[in-house]
């Protein structure tokens, strides 16, 4: 999906640009995938598992996501460098097309500058423009308090927990939480008790 580009001020006074990915972004996005995998335990890959990401694969992915009407990728650039990216995607299947999933990842050097907040606002705006969508969904790993704080600030609430969903190299087991945000009145908001 093509989304109009925009810029916004960071908490440190610099300006960030947000837009759909282009071919020239491929090295920066590959570096982002690799670097973030080593900077946090809260993403689902280790750096040595990033070999599956190739320039050709990223080009195909950018082209597909930019053309699609049920998914979008955005990159965030600061001083011309890729600082992070985010995605929103939803199924076209009738029973599932009311639910969109989102994901976001930033290089550590750009945490706490307001980028996550602004990208989340944009993903919510994209979702609200699609009248089929009733809810936004995401997951976060136990201990990711920065992500949880951001999501709660944006109106998400915890809807579930998958025990021991993540196992780190040292054997540590971590739960994975599901969150959602209702976009429209009329969606069921109560969780079943059985
Ligand atoms: C999680 C992430 C997307 C947040 O983006 P960000 O740009 O750092 O977030 P923002 O600066 O917009 O906002 C973060 C908020 O959390 C707060 N915060 C920061 N550290 C925190 C902590 N340890 N505990 C609780 N809240 C924290 C900040 O104060 C800020 O709130 P405020 O805007 O009300 O002051 C980003 O840090 C990131 O990419 N992390 C690594 C990858 C990752 O975890 N992705 C999410 C997977 S679910």
Residues with CB under 6 A from ligand 1: 36, 40, 42-43, 84, 104-106, 111-117, 140, 144-147, 149-150, 153
If you measure from the C-alpha of residue 15 to the centroid of ligand 1, how many angstroms do you get, rounded to a whole number? 18
Residues 20 and 73: beta-carbon distance below 8 Å? yes
Residue nearest to atom 19 of ligand 1 (CA): 146
If you measure from the C-alpha of residue 94 to the centroid of ligand 1, how many angstroms do you get, rounded to a whole number? 34
Handedness of CA 69, 120, 103, 29 (dihedral sign): positive
Residues 22 and 55: beta-carbon distance below 8 Å? no
Smallest CA-to-CA distance from 77 within 137, 180, 7 is with: 7
If you measure from the C-alpha of residue 154 to the centroid of ligand 1, how many angstroms do you get, rounded to a whole number? 12
Q: Count of CB atoms within 10 A of residue 145's CB?
A: 10
pLDDT at residue 129, as a whole number: 95
Q: What is the mean pLDDT of each run of 10 residues along the chain (194 residues)?
A: 98 98 98 97 95 96 98 98 98 97 98 98 97 96 98 97 98 98 76 73
Q: How far apart are CA 50 and CA 31, in angstroms?
A: 10
Query: What DSSP character marks residue 98?
Result: T
Smallest CA-to-CA distance from 110 within 17, 21, 179, 177 is with: 17
If you measure from the C-alpha of residue 41 to the centroid of ligand 1, how many angstroms do you get, rounded to a whole number? 14
C-alpha 40: how far from its chain's center? 15
Q: What is the largest CA-CA distance in the chain?
A: 52
Q: Which domains does the chain have, with CATH numbers?
A: 6-136 (3.40.630.30)
Mutational test site, ligand 1, from 74, 109, 116, max ligand atoms within 8 Å of CB: 116
**pTM of the entire predicted model:** 0.95
pLDDT at residue 192, as a whole number: 74
């Amino acid at each position: 999906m093509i989304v109009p580009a925009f810029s916004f001020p960071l908490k440190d006074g610099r300006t960030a640009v947000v837009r759909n990915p282009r071919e020239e972004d491929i090295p920066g996005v590959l570096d982002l995938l690799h670097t973030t995998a080593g900077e946090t335990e809260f993403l689902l890959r280790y750096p040595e598992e990033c070999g599956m990401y190739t320039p050709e694969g990223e080009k195909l992915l950018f082209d597909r996501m930019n053309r699609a009407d049920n998914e979008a990728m955005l990159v965030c650039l600061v001083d011309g460098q890729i600082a992070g990216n985010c995605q929103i995607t939803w199924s076209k299947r009738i029973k599932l097309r009311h639910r969109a999933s989102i994901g976001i990842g930033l290089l550590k050097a750009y945490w706490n500058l307001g980028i996550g907040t602004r990208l989340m606002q944009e993903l919510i705006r994209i979702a609200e423009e699609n009248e089929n969508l009733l809810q936004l969904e995401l997951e976060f790993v136990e201990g990711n308090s920065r992500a949880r704080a951001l999501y709660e600030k944006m109106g998400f609430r915890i809807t579930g927990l998958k025990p021991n969903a993540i196992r780190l190299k040292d054997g540590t087991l971590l739960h994975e939480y599901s969150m959602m945000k209702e976009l429209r009145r009329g969606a069921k908001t109560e969780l079943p008790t059985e």
